[in-house]
């Protein structure tokens, strides 16, 4: 991590050391999840899984955990969460993605919930292992937040939710989730609601996948699901400050973490290659060093974006560029490792074969490559790709 050390303060460095120590068994657990995606519940007593569970929950809600205070402090920033994501992904990204906890819904509650709802939600997630989901993507509209077709219609003292979501992590097995839906036409008609999946009318199915199976990609359906009035998140805010704005608030801030996961896999593939094929020379050495240079440059881009968010700056073009670069270098690193280890490498090296499958998912998580390429182009065209943009939605963390 020497190439971004100037962006890491004392708590972040403490968090980095702790993550290195606590993730020693993550690769072992990840191999199990690849065969049995629901097996994470068998490992809740492991420090690595417990830390992954509580990592996105504000520390003031935690039970008694033997975790140093400076490590807790390091989690309260975008840089800290990015660092945690990279360290876990270096071992195996499936474990962090399979852990119970708030996942992306943490950002929704931070952005939209009032104090009472915020406290009750995180208290519940800290009390017992609850899986949650963040449902934005739809089968016909993808992640185009302004074009949602899932509807929310008035019904007595509450609402009825109807529609379908697809490619939702942990959706089918979750107990709670946040669903973005449409209450009225136009961008200000988008709302976010908290749904209890035990309610009649909710159904979910696990979709088959060849990689990153720990995330348990799902399709969800809502058939007249009754939503209580109090489950409408951000009801105390103006329509211009909730719904669509809330979704974008979360996606932009989560993107450095997704990029860091891809980067962790890329670094792991290169280190695996170096460990199992020490005699690189000539052109092979040049290829490996070129990938390592790209990883170092992408890491700087990711952590610089995360540090900018912590300073209250939000340049969506640069954040998209970081995610784009990370997804590409992850794929290229696994391709190079497979090539240099020989024609039978994906049979002789099961971990590499699994990593090779897993990293393909990062192309589609938090926006596909073409979307981010377009965003980078727009930033360059406007001449503000390198600018520091003030984050008008930034506010103090509540933990």
DSSP string, 94-111: HHHHHS-B-TTHHHHHHH
Alpha carbon distances (Å) from 126 to 36, 52, 63, 131: 25, 12, 7, 11
How confident is the prediction for the chain on average, in pLDDT? 91
What is the per-residue pLDDT for 280? 67
Instruction: Please write the tens of the pLDDT for every residue from 218-251.
Output: 999 999 999 999 999 988 888 777 877 777 777 8
Cβ 94 vs Cβ 212: under 8 Å: yes
Confidence of residue 385 (pLDDT cuts 50, 70, 90): confident
Confidence of residue 395 (pLDDT cuts 50, 70, 90): very low
Task: Report the distance separating Cα 193 and Cα 202, nearest Å.
Answer: 14
What is the per-residue pLDDT for 394? 46
Query: Which domains does the chain show, CATH number per domain?
Result: 3-100 (no CATH), 130-231 (2.40.110.10), 247-380 (1.20.140.10)
Cβ count within 10 A of residue 238: 9
Instruction: Please write the tens of the pLDDT for every residue from 262-293.
Output: 999 999 999 999 998 766 678 888 999 999 99
Task: Report the distance separating Cα 273 and Cα 290, nearest Å.
Answer: 14
Instruction: Please write the tens of the pLDDT for every residue from 120-163.
Output: 999 999 999 999 999 999 998 887 777 899 999 999 889 999 99
DSSP string, 285-322: HHHHHHHHHHHHHHHHHHHHHHHHHHTTB--HHHHHHH
Dihedral of CA atoms 201, 125, 49, 174 in degrees, nearest 10, equals 0
Report the SS3 class of residue 191: strand
């Amino acid at each position: 991590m020497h190439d971004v050390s100037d962006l890491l303060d004392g708590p972040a460095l403490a968090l980095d050391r702790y993550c290195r120590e606590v993730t020693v068994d993550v690769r072992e657990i990840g191999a199990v999840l690849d065969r049995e995606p629901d097996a994470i519940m068998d490992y809740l007593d492991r420090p690595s899984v417990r830390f992954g569970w509580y990592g996105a929950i504000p520390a003031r809600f935690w039970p008694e955990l033997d975790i140093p205070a400076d490590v807790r402090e390091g989690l309260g920033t975008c840089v800290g969460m990015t660092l945690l994501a990279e360290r876990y992904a270096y071992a195996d990204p499936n474990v962090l993605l399979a852990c119970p906890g708030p996942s992306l819904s943490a950002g929704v509650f931070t952005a939209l919930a009032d104090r009472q709802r915020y406290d009750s939600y995180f208290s519940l997630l800290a009390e017992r292992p609850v899986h949650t989901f963040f449902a934005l993507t739809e089968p016909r509209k993808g992640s185009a937040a302004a074009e949602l077709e899932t509807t929310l219609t008035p019904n007595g003292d509450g609402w009825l939710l109807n529609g379908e979501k697809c490619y939702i992590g942990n959706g089918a097995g979750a107990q709670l989730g946040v669903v973005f839906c449409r209450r009225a036409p136009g961008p200000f008609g988008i709302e976010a609601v908290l749904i209890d999946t035990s309610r009649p009318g909710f159904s979910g199915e696990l979709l088959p996948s060849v990689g990153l199976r720990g995330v348990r990609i799902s399709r969800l359906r809502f058939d007249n699901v009754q939503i209580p009035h109090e489950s409408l998140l951000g009801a105390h805010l103006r329509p211009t400050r909730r719904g669509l704005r809330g979704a974008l608030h979360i996606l932009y801030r989560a993107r450095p973490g997704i990029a860091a996961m891809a980067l962790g896999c890329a670094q792991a593939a290169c280190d695996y290659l170096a460990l199992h094929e020490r005699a690189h020379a000539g052109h092979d050495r040049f290829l490996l060093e070129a990938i390592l240079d790209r990883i170092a440059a992408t890491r700087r881009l990711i952590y610089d974006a995360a540090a900018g968010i912590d300073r209250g700056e939000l340049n969506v073009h640069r954040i998209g560029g970081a995610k784009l670069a990370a997804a590409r270098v992850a794929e290229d690193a696994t391709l190079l490792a497979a090539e240099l280890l020989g024609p039978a490498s994906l049979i002789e090296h099961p971990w590499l074969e699994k990593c090779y499958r897993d990293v393909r998912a990062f192309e589609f998580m938090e926006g596909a490559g073409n979307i981010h390429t377009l965003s980078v182009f727009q930033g360059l065209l406007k001449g503000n790709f390198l600018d520091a943009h003030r984050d008008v939605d930034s506010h103090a963390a509540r933990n």
